[in-house]
Amino acid sequence: MADFNVTPWDVSGAIDYDKLIMQFGTKKISPALKERIQKSAGELHPMLSRDYFFSHRDMDLALDEHEKGKGFFLYTGRGPSGPMHIGHLVPLVFTKWLQDKFKCNLYIQITDDEKFLVKQGMQWEDTQKYSHENILDIIAAGFDPKRTFIFKDSEYIKNVYPLLLKTARKTTMSTAKAVFGFTDSSNIGLTFYPAYQIVPTFFEKKRCLIPSAIDQDPYWRIQRDIAESLGYFKTAAIHSKFLPPLSGTEGKMSSSAADSAIWLSDDAKAVKNKINKYAFSGGKSSMEEHRKLGGNPDIDVPFQWLKIFFEPSDKKLQKLHDDYKSGALLSGEMKAALIEKINTFLAAHKEKREAAKESIRDFMHEGPLAKRMWEQQF
Ligand code: TRP
């Protein structure tokens, strides 16, 4: 038995990412693949060079299509189960980078149906409220309104129902049980839902590339088994690790443990307090000892967050790392560096989120891609 668990509905334990690649049957992103991405994109995103995006399926084929001029399209999604925290935004920031560099269409699925079915305590009205709130946060990541379609499952269903049925008919209960762990006590709505998460990979007759955390990969496994028999491409995927929770390096930042999350709506004071109070430190217990022996950046959550997301400069990151290890930089100073970065980021995010209220219609109904999608019957 592994001492960690990664499924679409549960991520826990100390995750061994190399083991996960073996378990899931995906591929590690090799130095050669990174070089190819860099060549096509003109630069390498820090989330790639620092191995936060670490695994893939057929990313090389997506690059082939790009080089041949046919291109690929992007697809990702969000389950509106509550307000969003920083961990939710990280893959979206990477997705925006891909869209900018490869100039592709992007489809973002808002799974109000999934969250209603999974969360017994959730009212339908809650899913609708969070869908709206989350969409504003998503738009604030800066996607191109001409090339992005954001849709809510319950609203777009009428355009995709035939394709959804074709997808569902190809998936047996025994596959769904094996892949998602459904049992006799799972509700029947939830056993149908996976077909809907597969449907957007068929939105264009091109290869789809899905940037997301690796817990969503089970869906893509089924997609790849059935896509060609329905006349579509097997999807490609590029997988990220999980943002560690503030309180330690196991599992992922989660909405259910309030102490371990920084919400996109947190103000500067809340950010400062939470990080100072809860952030797991790789520093020594006394200043004297820290100066003498140095800290451990590999388990220091503030350093890890700077590495994954908040410090884009390799040079500055290396200095933080080295100074921490030598003891020149104290744990409180590492925290202060992170607090400043997060607060600058969140201040800008809040402004963009306000502006998103003006453009929500473009992304969902009135932009060129949105219009085309509403006219289309799948
Ligand atoms: N199931 C995802 C969640 O719970 C939402 C989702 C739908 C998604 N489609 C996706 C995530 C595609 C990544 C890629 O959040």
Q: How far is residue 90's CA from residue 80's CA, in Å, rounded to a whole number? A: 16
Cα dihedral value 339, 342, 347, 352, nearest 10: 180
88 Cβ below 6 A of ligand 1 = no
Q: Give the pair of three-digit tokens for residue 92.
A: 């979206």
Helix (H) / strand (E) containing 186: none
Query: 52-102 pLDDT, tens per residue?
Result: 999 999 999 999 999 999 999 999 999 999 999 999 999 999 999 999 999
Q: Give the pair of three-digit tokens for residue 218.
A: 């089970």
User: What does the pLDDT read at residue 153?
Assistant: 98
What's the mean pLDDT in 187-202?
98
Please state which of the ranges 9-13, 156-160, 271-275, 358-362 shows the lowest mean pLDDT.
9-13
212 Cβ below 6 A of ligand 1 = yes
Residue 233 pLDDT > 70, yes or no? yes
Q: Which long-range contacts (CB under 8 A, 24 or more apart) does 226-231 make?
A: 226/167, 226/170, 226/171, 226/198, 227/201, 227/202, 229/170, 230/166, 230/167, 230/170, 230/202
Q: Which atom of ligand 1 is nearest to the CA of 115?
A: 4
Furthest CA-CA distance within the chain: 68
343 Cβ below 6 A of ligand 1 = no
Q: How far is residue 54's CA from residue 240's CA, in Å, rounded to a whole number? A: 6
What's the mean pLDDT in 33-41?
98
What's the mean pLDDT in 116-144?
97
Q: Give the angle 294-297-302 at the CA atoms, nearest 5°.
A: 120
240 Cβ below 6 A of ligand 1 = no
User: What does the pLDDT read at residue 220?
Assistant: 98
User: What does the pLDDT read at residue 2?
Assistant: 54
What's the mean pLDDT in 281-291?
94
336 Cα to the center of ligand 1, angstroms: 33
Whole-number mean pLDDT of the chain? 96
What's the mean pLDDT in 317-324?
98
> 81, 84, 109, 114: which to mutate for ligand 1, most atoms within 8 A of CB?
109
53 Cα to the center of ligand 1, angstroms: 16
Q: How far is residue 28's CA from residue 56's CA, in Å, rounded to a whole number? A: 6
Q: How far is residue 239's CA from residue 98's CA, in Å, rounded to a whole number? A: 13
Residue 171 pLDDT > 90, yes or no? yes
User: What does the pLDDT read at residue 180?
Assistant: 93
215 Cβ below 6 A of ligand 1 = no
Q: Which of 42, 37, 73, 71 is nearest to 148 (CA)?
A: 73
Q: Which of 304, 303, 322, 309 is nearest to 349 (CA)?
A: 309
Q: Could you give the 3-state DSSP secondary structure of residue 344?
A: helix
What's the mean pLDDT in 252-277?
88
Residue 207 pLDDT > 90, yes or no? yes
Q: Whose CA is nearest to atom 4 of ligand 1?
A: 79
Would you give the distance in Å from CA 30 to the centre of its chain? 20
User: What does the pLDDT read at residue 252?
Assistant: 81
95 Cβ below 6 A of ligand 1 = no
Q: How far is residue 273's CA from residue 298's CA, in Å, rounded to a whole number? A: 23
194 Cα to the center of ligand 1, angstroms: 10
User: What does the pLDDT read at residue 1?
Assistant: 47
User: What does the pLDDT read at residue 185?
Assistant: 95
Q: Whose CA is nearest to atom 1 of ligand 1?
A: 79
Please give the domain boundaries of the chain with CATH numbers for all domains.
16-246 (3.40.50.620), 258-351 (1.10.240.10)
What's the mean pLDDT in 193-217?
98
Residue 258 pLDDT > 70, yes or no? no
76 Cα to the center of ligand 1, angstroms: 6
Q: Give the angle 151-6-195 at the CA atoms, nearest 5°.
A: 35
Q: pLDDT above 70 covers what percent of the chain?
A: 98
User: What does the pLDDT read at residue 257?
Assistant: 67
> 11, 75, 78, 219: which to mutate for ligand 1, most atoms within 8 A of CB?
78
Residue 332 pLDDT > 70, yes or no? yes
257 Cα to the center of ligand 1, angstroms: 20
Res. 203 pLDDT band, cuts 50 70 90: very high
Q: Which of 120, 37, 104 is nearest to 71 (CA)?
A: 104
Residue 377 pLDDT > 70, yes or no? yes
Residue 134 pLDDT > 60, yes or no? yes
What's the mean pLDDT in 135-141?
98
User: What does the pLDDT read at residue 10?
Assistant: 86
Computed over its alpha carbons, how large is the radius of gyration of the chain?
21
216 Cβ below 6 A of ligand 1 = yes
210 Cβ below 6 A of ligand 1 = yes
Residue 320 pLDDT > 90, yes or no? yes
Q: Which of 284, 300, 301 is nearest to 246 (CA)?
A: 301
What's the mean pLDDT in 214-224?
97
Phi-psi region at 250: left, alpha or beta (left = phi > 0; alpha = psi -120 to 50): beta
Q: Give the pair of three-digit tokens for residue 323.
A: 């100074």
What's the mean pLDDT in 129-146?
98
Per-residue HEC secondary structure of 25-53 comes to CCEECCHHHHHHHHHHHCCCCHHHHCCCE
